Structure 1
Amino acid sequence: MAIFKGAGVAMATPMKEDGSINFDAMEKMIEYQIRNHTDAIIAVGTSGEASTLDDDEHLEAIRFCVEITKGRVPVIAGTGSNNTAHAIMMSREAEKRGADGLLLVTPYYNKATQDGLIASYTAIAEAVNIPCIMYNVPSRTGTNIQPETAAYIGKHVKNIVALKDACGNISQTARTLELCDGVLDLYSGNDDQIVPIMSLGGSGVISVLSNVAPQFTHDMCQKCLDGDFSGAAKMQLGSLALIRALFCEVNPIPVKAALNMMGFDAGKPRLPLTEMTEEHQASLRAAMKNFGIL
């Protein structure tokens, strides 16, 4: 059961000058996304600075996204944790607030075994009634969901329906798709690999790029879904300079700077993340101008 196909935005969480969530800016960002045909909104994931929001803020951001979106596109809530009990609590609370699905990052820092990943994901999924997406991003968590593990979970846990794959290893991604054999939808977690992954059977992307270029990212995915991989490849290659600029510092530092340049009042990231350097801001601004955003 696909939660969505195409381009879901890994939405940044805008902040006021005092560091609190800027809900007025969030509403404007959500409306901009929907107006430009984003296929899903992923709230309070990595790009949304989940790691530095307290639980009340985190859940209020999810509730607000659901309220403003009004069912026009799915809202997928980031509720993963390195503490399985905490992930269960947050997942249940997100479900109560109307989330259409959950994004569950692998436990970070603990470095769980593959058996531990199976047990943790199973426990979280069995505690809720909405579909779940596993999130594999070993560069940030130190834990890698092996293809065999993803396939086992997909075949044995009914409401784990997808994998966000940011492993960066296209051979691993291909092996995962081979072993899953359709039991999991697979979304690219890297904006520079959208078309390669969709050409292997991926369902779309959970995208940082979509924060600033939602229509473009949607259209690139739609070309893949329509079988126009030549056209999609041209778009992918044409977006690489902007993608590099959006990742020249750790996400979401650059995308918040980009949103500020676009007038969305995204504010600063919370510590330990800092504002983008002036040199990188200049490079990002140039990339956005070349892309036609500014």
Structure 2
Amino acid sequence: MNDEDEDDVKAKDPAIIAMEVADQIAYLRKLKFQYLEQNAKDKYVKSIVSDIDDAPIVTAEENKVLARTNEDKKEKLKIAKGRLNEVQSNIRLLGPMVEQDYQRVKEATDRAALLSQKIIDARTALILLRQTHPKPRLTIPLAEQKLQDQVEEMQMLNDQVQDIKQKAKMEKGRVKTGTVDVENLRLQASEAEKAVKAAQLDEDDSRLVPLYDWYTASLALHRSISNLADSHSVSENELQLTYKIDMPSPSRPHHVVIALIFAPDTRKLAAAQVSGLDELGVEAGDVIDAHVQVDDPHGLIAALLARARAAALA
């Protein structure tokens, strides 16, 4: 808003107008009093300095006329003052109402100006949008059809996600069961090994054949449960195991190679190397470090296979 608009607003403000009127009335009263005082002084001086013969003769009748005139003027002045007081009372009473109406009108005017500017901006943006995106434009029916297609696609993808989650749940159950079976077989193998050492049987003892058959069957069961594809000793203290990871159809199975490195002349796990997990997006460093510290090769293999199978089904 510029200076001229501010002056117009001040000129239309009822409170400011009332103050200016009061100042003007006070000034006029002072001016009138000064005029009457100066006029009386002039007449008094003229009556003193003028000759008695030339001075006008004032009779009692003229004084009565002047008195009646003064009374009439006083009565008129009283009536005028009463009207003025009434007008001032009305101004004081109606001033706040007028001020409220003025503020409402001002707010409505500002709002109308703001809305007008917004309309102009919206039209400008619409023109730019039409220039940026020429015909053919996306209509409401096409947009609704596209929305319907996207909803159907999302529903189909949601169904696929549910199927994958169900398969993953089943696979986790199978892995959990297999892990329990492997642990049981490991305990049974350990007990069988202790029994063999305690018996100290000869190589040609006939009781060794059933034990060998049972151990072979247990090893075959372990291979089938954990999908152990290959196992061989790279050196005296390194064992390399290759596991097959089933992938969702139609992908081919993925192989993960786990190399267990033991400390020389001991059965303590010293280190482990894994290949094939990077393709599945699995980070195995923390798992390897945790199990190497506690010397748990069986737990390490189970944890790595669980992560690999979970990543394959994700």
Q: Structure 1 length as normaliser, TM-score?
A: 0.22
Structure exhibiting the larger radius of gyration computed from Cα positions: 2
Structure showing greater relative contact order (alpha-carbon pairs closer than 8 Å, 6 or more residues apart): 1
Report which of the two has the higher share of helix: 2
